[in-house]
């Protein structure tokens, strides 16, 4: 195990200066590997597997700053529950990975660590907010990694970096020790280079935690099968896949190369025996806008996490007041100005009501068409250039800009599970991710479908990390 861990640490030292994906190394990683080599601990399912952890997940003795320069010296006293479970399974925590401040951006840029780059093209963005985890895993700096997903923060980086990203049913993985954003939507999950690796990592994190009551519902259904049991071919044969065409349609600024890859992937699914049914959700844009809860409850939820963790600040407004932010942190500033108690906002209750309506609309599609999953591209563009981002391409304050064309809000705001898996690449070699959305607690069904989709998709092309000095691969 020590040789494997040392090799990955050497890769981080050699290649991460170009990616800027790692924010803090675990200096005890080699000691942890040596204990595994000594054979004094049971061999868990992740025995010796080098893992990177997003820096909004508590790690005992290792700084956890949620991407914020203001929290750079904050060191938690205890591991998050999911980290405890990973260690128990034998994983070795290599490092903490970069994210935008408090996970409130689609892009990999933070006040603490600066710009994170995409290993497929260093001039491009890896996606947010699990930007460092995705870039590190895609480049091979770790075998697998853990991110968090509130609006798409696992699935957008997975799409941009050619990875499998799983947003589990909320409560499958405990959020205790994870900085909250929208409590009913927050869901930690795996990022990996294959569905099998992602499923094995997810299985190690799943479990009841009395410190997160949401885990109770996930623990109640009889498991029967593990995630590994459903890693089988032919799951698409006979499956009924609802293609949400309004999320596949291209709008001005979308990339036709992404649309081409999506159509090719749909054709392959049909050839593999799946029945594709075009479905529609009337009024979906308005419904997503009305169930966007960040400006209604994120201040309360983040502040609760700050108090729980013993951070030097207890209100995100005070962190914003330090001035240690980037000009593009528009959402973070807006959250800091939102009500401390969402119940003082009359729109909060209406948003909760409409969230239930959104859930019922999705479930109705399943019932009406006897669906196995909904399907659409995770993002309708490939990884954008850092130049475009800096120029305000997705900053709605700037002229001629538009919102990030992501489809990931649907599963997030419904609090449903979803899997993003590589579907192919654009003509210039940039990955495209296809998303499968499922019903709550049917995660293993999604993993089975993703396994078969991976089987019929052209093999993932690993990035050849190039710099101005040549290739580092």
Q: Which tens digit of pLDDT belongs to each residue from 178-204?
A: 999 999 999 999 999 999 999 999 999
DSSP states of 148-178: EESSSTTHHHHHHHT-EEEEPPTTSB--TTB
Distances (CA, A) of 43 to 38, 89, 172: 11, 7, 23
- Asked whether residue 434 is assigned to any structural domain, the reply reads yes
Q: What is the CATH number of the domain that holds 80?
A: 3.90.1300.10
Q: How far apart are CA 48 and CA 34, in angstroms?
A: 10
How far apart, in whole angstroms, are the C-alpha atoms of residue 375 and residue 419? 10
pLDDT tens-digit readout, 117-164: 999 999 999 999 999 999 999 999 999 999 999 999 999 999 999 999
112 exposed, middle or buried (CB, 10 Å; 0-12, 13-18, 19+)? buried
CB-based burial, 336-365: b 16+ in 10 Å, e otherwise = bebeeebeeeeebeebeebbeebbeebeeb
| Average pLDDT of the residues of the chain | 94
Residue 216 counted as domain residue: no
**225 has a pLDDT exceeding 90:** no
Percent of the chain topping pLDDT 90: 87
- Strand segments, DSSP code E, in 301-456 are 373-377, 418-425, 431-437
Residue 465, H or E segment: none
Q: Which two tokens stand for residue 388?
A: 């475009």
Burial 252-263 (b: 16+ CB within 10 A, else e): eebbebbbebbe
Whether pLDDT at 258 is above 80 = yes
Burial class (CB in 10 A: 0-12, 13-18, 19+), 6: middle
Query: pTM here?
Result: 0.96
Q: Are 23 and 48 in contact (CB under 8 A)?
A: no
The answer to whether 229 and 449 are in contact (CB under 8 A) is: no
Tell me the two tokens of residue 108. Answer: 């990999």
Positions annotated as catalytic residues are 54, 129, 153
Query: Is 217 domain-assigned?
Result: no
pLDDT in tens, 93-102: 999 999 999 9
Res 439 pLDDT > 60: yes
Confidence of residue 473 (pLDDT cuts 50, 70, 90): very low
Structure tokens at 29: 């990683």
Residues 20/99, Cβ–Cβ less than 8 Å: no
Query: Which pairs from 357-365 meet CB under 8 Å and 24+ separation?
Result: 357/287, 358/287, 358/288, 358/291, 358/413, 358/414, 359/414, 359/415, 359/416, 361/281, 361/287, 362/281, 362/410, 362/414, 362/416, 362/437, 362/439, 363/439, 365/242, 365/279, 365/281
Which of the pair, 394 or 31, is modelled with greater confidence? 31
Q: Is the pLDDT of residue 50 over 90?
A: yes
Cross-strand bridge partners of residue 240: 275
Per-residue model confidence as pLDDT tens digits over 79-113: 999 999 999 999 999 999 999 999 999 999 999 99
- Per-residue pLDDT, 44: 93
**Domain assignment of residue 379, yes or no:** yes
- Residue 378 to residues 31, 148, 462: CA-CA distances in angstroms? 39, 16, 20
- Tell me the chain's radius of gyration from C-alpha atoms: 21
- Residue by residue, DSSP assigns 137-151 as HHTTSSSEEEEEESS
Contacts of 441 (CB under 8 A, 6+ apart): 169, 172, 217, 218, 221, 417
Closest CA to 244 of 292, 288, 287, 284: 284
DSSP assignments along 215-280, one per residue: HHHHHSS---S-TGGG--TTTTTT-EEEEEHHHHS--TT--HHHHHHHHHHHHHHHHTTPEEEEE-
Residue 79 domain-assigned (yes or no): yes
Domain assignment of residue 408, yes or no: yes
Q: Checking DSSP bridges between strand 50-54 and strand 92-97, what pairing results, if any?
A: parallel
Classified as helix, coil or strand, 354 is helix
| Owning domain of residue 320 | 2-209+222-471
Number of domains in the chain: 1
Q: Is residue 215 in some structural domain?
A: no
Across-strand partners of 98? none
Greatest CA span in the chain, whole angstroms?
A: 61
Q: Terminus-to-terminus CA distance in the chain, angstroms?
A: 23
Residue 40: which pLDDT band, with cuts at 50, 70 and 90?
A: confident
- DSSP, collapsed to helix, strand or coil, labels residue 125 as coil
With cut-offs at 50, 70 and 90, classify the pLDDT of residue 222.
low
Would you place residue 469 in the very low, low, confident or very high pLDDT band (cuts 50, 70, 90)? very low
């Amino acid at each position: 195990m020590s040789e494997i861990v040392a090799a990955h640490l050497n890769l981080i030292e050699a290649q991460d200066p170009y990616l800027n994906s790692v924010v803090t190394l675990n200096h005890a990683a080699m000691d942890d590997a040596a204990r595994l080599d000594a054979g004094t601990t049971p061999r868990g399912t992740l025995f010796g597997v080098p893992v990177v952890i997003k820096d909004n997940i508590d790690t005992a003795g290792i700084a956890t700053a949620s991407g914020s320069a203001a929290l750079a010296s904050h060191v938690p006293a205890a591991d998050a529950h999911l980290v405890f479970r990973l260690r128990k399974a034998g994983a070795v925590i290599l490092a903490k990975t970069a994210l935008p401040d408090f996970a409130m951006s689609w892009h990999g840029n933070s006040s603490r660590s600066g710009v994170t780059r995409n290993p497929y093209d260093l001039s491009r963005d890896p996606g947010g907010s699990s930007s460092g985890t995705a870039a590190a895993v895609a480049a091979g700096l770790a075998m697998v990694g853990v991110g968090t997903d509130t609006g798409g923060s696992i699935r957008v980086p997975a799409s941009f970096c050619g990875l499998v990203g799983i947003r589990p049913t909320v409560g499958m993985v405990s959020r205790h020790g994870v900085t909250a954003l929208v409590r009913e939507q927050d869901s930690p999950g795996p990022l990996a280079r294959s569905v099998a690796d992602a499923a094995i990592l997810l299985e190690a994190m799943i479990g009841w935690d009395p410190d997160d009551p949401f885990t109770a519902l996930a623990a109640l259904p009889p498991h029967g099968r593990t995630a590994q049991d459903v890693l089988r071919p032919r799951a698409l044969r006979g499956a009924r896949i609802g293609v949400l065409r309004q999320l596949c349609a291209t709008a001005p600024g979308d990339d036709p190369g992404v649309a081409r890859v999506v159509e090719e992937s749909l054709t392959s699914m049909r050839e593999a025996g799946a029945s594709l049914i075009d479905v529609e959700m009337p009024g979906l844009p308005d419904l997503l806008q009305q169930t966007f809860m960040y400006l209604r409850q994120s201040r309360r939820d983040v502040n609760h996490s700050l108090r729980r963790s013993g951070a030097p600040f207890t209100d995100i407004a005070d962190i914003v007041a330090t001035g240690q932010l980037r000009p593009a942190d528009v959402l973070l500033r807006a959250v800091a100005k939102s009500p401390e108690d969402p119940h003082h906002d009359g729109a909060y209750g209406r948003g909760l009501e409409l969230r239930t309506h959104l859930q019922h609309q999705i479930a109705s599609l399943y019932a009406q068409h006897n669906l196995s999953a909904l399907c659409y591209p995770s993002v309708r563009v490939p990884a954008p250039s850092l130049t475009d981002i800096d120029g305000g391409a997705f900053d709605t304050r700037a002229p001629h800009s538009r919102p990030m064309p992501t489809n990931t809000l649907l599963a997030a705001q419904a609090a449903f599970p979803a899997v993003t898996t590589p579907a192919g690449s654009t003509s210039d070699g940039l990955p495209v991710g296809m998303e499968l959305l499922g019903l709550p607690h049917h995660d293993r069904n999604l993993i089975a479908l993703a396994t078969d989709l991976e089987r019929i998709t052209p093999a993932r092309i690993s990035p050849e990390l190039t710099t101005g000095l040549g290739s580092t691969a």
